[in-house]
Amino acid sequence: MSAFGLVMHPERASELAIDAVDWLGERGHEVRLGTEEAAMVGRPELGVPESKLAVGLDLVLSLGGDGTMLRAVDLAAPEGVPVLGINLGQLGYLTEVEPGGLRMALKRFLAGSYEVEDRMLVRVDVEAEAFEGGPSHLALNEAVLEKTPMGHTVRLGVSVDGEAFTTYAADGLIVATPTGSTAYAFSARGPIVEPTHRCLLLTPVSPHMLFDRSLVLAPSAVVRIEVLGHRPATLSVDGSNLGTLHNGDAVTYTAAEATARIVAFGPRYFLRILKSKFGLSDR
């Protein structure tokens, strides 16, 4: 028998989660949810702390949109567990299956009729004496250093592989993966990169300087960004605000050893997905 973990959107996925729990349980498979989510679907006996959710699993099911998928990957990637996304959101770049296809997707997974697509993750290491968000994180989409909500532009000194590059005066800087090239970096006019590629994307947000281009860096690059001057900057990873950095604090970004393992049922044609999401025509 196999072991499954469920990560769900708190408002959209209860009915689908109950269906998945019942279907898998009837066939003798182990199912786990986070403690709060297990209570939410009326199955508290299946609840475990999130820190233990992915340990020893065969698959993590993400029931929601891309935000839920990011949370599922964050839990699953350190354990090397693949993630299958069931789309209950809108764009759904990361999700593979629509809700009506859940049971068939589970049958195909259990039959071994699937592929796993590895996606690059960024490791984010914080250098600060007092930072509430913790010293190290993984990002599937991006990590962002930017001005505080009510603040002005920030000065951010960038070095690559130990060599100073330049100081940006901007609303912020985004360090993104290829997967994240269609997320925040895209809205800041960064390039679109095929998601199975490996590179680091450095994209400024509203730069107040002549140089306003994105940089596409090697996956082996070590990017260090230091906060300069009296204006603080906030750090967010995959949309979660982790805390504030001050003058002299820094963040280092590298390609992580772990990868996001995304389940797919056949080839994912990225340009077709892109055309569909943006309503592009053939002419």
Q: Report angle CA 104, 105, 108 to the nearest 5 degrees.
A: 85
> What DSSP string describes the chain?
--EEEEEE-TTT-HHHHHHHHHHHHHTT-EEEEEHHHHHHTT-GGGEE-HHHHTTT-SEEEEEESHHHHHHHHHHHGGGT--EEEEE-SSS-SS--B-GGGHHHHHHHHHTT--EEEEEEEEEEEEE-SS-TT-SEEEESSEEEEEE-TT---EEEEEEETTEEEEEEEESEEEEE-SGGGGTHHHHTTPPP--TTS--EEEEEES-SSS----EEE-TT--EEEEEESS--EEEEETTEEEEEE-TT-EEEEEEEEEEEEEEESS---HHHHHHHHHT----
Residue 263 CA to residue 59 CA, distance in Å, equals 9
Q: Can you tell me the mean pLDDT for 206-221?
A: 95
pLDDT at 203 over 70: yes
Reported confidence tier of residue 92, pLDDT bands at 50, 70, 90: low
The whole-model pTM stands at 0.91
Q: pLDDT tens-digit profile of 39-63?
A: 999 999 999 999 999 999 999 999 9
pLDDT at 93 over 80: no
Nearest to 88, CA basis, from 126, 61, 49: 61
């299946």: which residue's tokens? 46
pLDDT at 237 over 80: yes
Q: pLDDT tens-digit profile of 10-21?
A: 888 899 999 999
Residue 89 CA to residue 229 CA, distance in Å, equals 40
pLDDT at 279: 81
Q: What is the mean pLDDT of the chain?
A: 93
The token duo for 93 is: 């770049």
pLDDT at 91 over 80: no
CB 219 within 8 A of CB 251: no
Please name each of the domains of the chain with its CATH number: 3-113 (3.40.50.10330), 121-258 (2.60.200.30)
Nearest to 66, CA basis, from 200, 191, 188, 195: 195
pLDDT at 159: 98
Q: pLDDT tens-digit profile of 70-82?
A: 999 999 999 999 9
Q: Compute the CA torsion angle 267, 271, 274, 280 (nearest 10 deg).
A: -130
Active site residues: 66
